[in-house]
Amino acid sequence: MDVGWVEWWRDELRVEVRRLVEGFEARVGFPPGEHRVGGPASAAELAGLRQLHGDALPADLLLFYGVVAEVDLPDVDAGYWIHRPAPAGEDPGHPRRLSDGRRIVVFGSDGGGALFALPAGSGGPVLRLSGGAVVGDVYDADGATAVAGDLAVFLSFLRRETAA
């Protein structure tokens, strides 16, 4: 994954969101929610990510946030959100570890209450955290399921689901 790919993904997703919203109410009987494919995170937000996660911050996630700070897709399936990073000094209160010791970085959620996370470092699978207990900053590893081979695969899934 590189900046050019993320920019292409962002532009394609914006096209698909416009298609989804056009005529949405006529198709489903109620108005669409507020969809958003944002621009880059601010320097303060990127600094906050580095401060909060240190060397656990996946390189692909940092690269992504340098191009797209947030995504809101409330009408795609049950809804998907990529959370805007918190500025330096703020902690969003997400789990940072799994009970098996793996460090994670939560970056999104769905409308069913699940969270999406990447393991520390880079190249790991996107994990869906659902049905597990949270104690402090530790999430029950039994509730962590790999749903995509990496962040690029997960982002491609979101684009396909938006286009469907």
Structurally, how many domains does the chain consist of?
A: 1
**Residue-range definition of the domain harbouring residue 8:** 3-163
Range picked from 4-8, 92-96, 139-143 for highest mean pLDDT: 4-8
Burial letters 103-132, b for 16+ CB under 10 A, else e: bbbbbbbbeeebbbbbbbebebbbbbbbeb
Q: Is the pTM of this model over 0.85?
A: yes
In 3D space, the residue among 111, 82, 97 whose CA is nearest the CA of residue 141 turns out to be 97
**More confident site: 40 or 124:** 40
CATH number at residue 89: 3.40.1580.10
Answer yes or no: is pLDDT of 123 > 80. no
Residue 76 one-letter amino acid: V
